């Protein structure tokens, strides 16, 4: 079998994706995305699951989006069943960038409530992008079960996903403002504030919500 220059270049690029030097992996991911080739898809997805550097992972996802969806989608969807949290998280991130709504049925409740915060955050973002028309309220219902979860960045990700659903999320978030758990009430109030005023900083929204909850209110008394 004759080895062509293209074959050699592809083999070289795939080896470079596993190089110990971050800058080499970055250049390799850029090269692979610049010159898409079906032979790259499986290896790109495999590398997403183990790549340690955020910027390299982001370029790997970009490289995948440069390939035909009919090649990438089945391979990425398969990663959602991986036992490795990073594989699930990066696959969800990639699905949000591909933006093909055929992936929607794979965004399951178990992913939206995954015990790993990074997986859950990626699932929330992907769901907000891929949710079909008419499914927004049901998605909001699942997302509100996660209110109060995690630290500031996790809570911000959830609030952004809920705000992306627009007014369809208002009834379930309103109900959460009277939840027994004060962390849930605070997070729900902050999310309401972000929906009303997207330019509000999340830290300010959370601090304001904490003051309301500390005073025993729900934020509804003044018509807000």
In the chain the first and final C-alpha atoms are separated, in Å, by: 72
Task: Look at residue 117 and tell me if it is in a domain.
Answer: no
Query: What's the pLDDT score for residue 219?
Result: 55
Q: Round to whole Å and give the CA distance between 186 and 44.
A: 40
Q: What is the CA radius of gyration of the chain?
A: 21
Task: Look at residue 123 and tell me if it is in a domain.
Answer: no
Query: What's the pLDDT score for residue 7?
Result: 64
Give the chain's residues under pLDDT 70. 1-7, 217-224
Locus of tokens 């992972």: 57
Q: Helix, strand, coil proportions of the chain in percent (round to 5)?
A: 70, 0, 30
Task: Look at residue 158 and tell me if it is in a domain.
Answer: yes
Task: Look at residue 121 and tell me if it is in a domain.
Answer: no
Chain-centroid distance, C-alpha 58: 12
- The domain boundary, picked from 100, 115, 143, lies at 100
Q: Crossing angle, helix 69-79 and helix 85-98, to 10 degrees?
A: 150
One domain for residues 27 and 66: yes
Give the range of the structural domain holding residue 141, as residue numbers without chain letter: 131-216
138-193: pLDDT as tens digits = 999 999 999 999 999 999 999 999 999 999 999 999 999 999 999 999 999 999 99
Q: Residue 224's closest CA among 203, 114, 200, 45? A: 200
Task: Look at residue 224 and tell me if it is in a domain.
Answer: no
SS3 35: coil
Q: Look at the chain and count its residues.
A: 224
**What is the tally of structural domains in the chain?**
2
**Sign of the alpha-carbon dihedral angle for 208, 194, 86, 135:** positive
Supply the pTM of this predicted model.
Answer: 0.89
Task: Look at residue 207 and tell me if it is in a domain.
Answer: yes
One domain for residues 23 and 62: yes
Query: What's the pLDDT score for residue 194?
Result: 94
- The domain boundary, picked from 82, 100, 118, lies at 100
CB distance 192 to 200 below 8 Å: no
**Sign of the alpha-carbon dihedral angle for 74, 111, 65, 100:** positive
């Amino acid at each position: 079998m004759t080895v062509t220059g293209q074959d050699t270049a592809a083999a070289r690029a795939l080896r470079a994706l596993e190089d110990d030097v971050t800058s080499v992996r970055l250049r390799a991911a850029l090269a692979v995305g610049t010159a898409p080739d079906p032979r790259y898809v499986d290896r790109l997805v495999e590398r997403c699951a183990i790549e340690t550097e955020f910027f390299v992972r982001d370029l790997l996802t970009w490289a995948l989006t440069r390939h035909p969806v009919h090649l990438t989608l089945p391979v990425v969807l398969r990663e959602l069943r991986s036992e490795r949290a990073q594989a699930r998280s990066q696959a969800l991130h990639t699905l949000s960038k591909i933006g093909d709504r055929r992936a929607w049925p794979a965004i399951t409740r178990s992913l939206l409530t995954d015990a790993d915060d990074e997986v859950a955050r990626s699932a929330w973002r992907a769901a907000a992008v891929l949710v079909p028309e008419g499914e927004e309220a049901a998605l909001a219902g699942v997302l509100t079960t996660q209110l109060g979860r995690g630290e500031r960045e996790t809570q911000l990700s959830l609030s952004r996903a809920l705000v992306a659903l627009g007014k369809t999320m208002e009834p379930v978030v309103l109900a959460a403002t009277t939840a027994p758990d004060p962390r849930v009430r605070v997070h729900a109030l902050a999310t309401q504030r972000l929906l009303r005023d997207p330019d509000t900083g999340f830290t300010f929204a959370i601090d304001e919500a904490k003051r309301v909850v500390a005073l025993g209110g729900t934020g509804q008394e003044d018509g807000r």
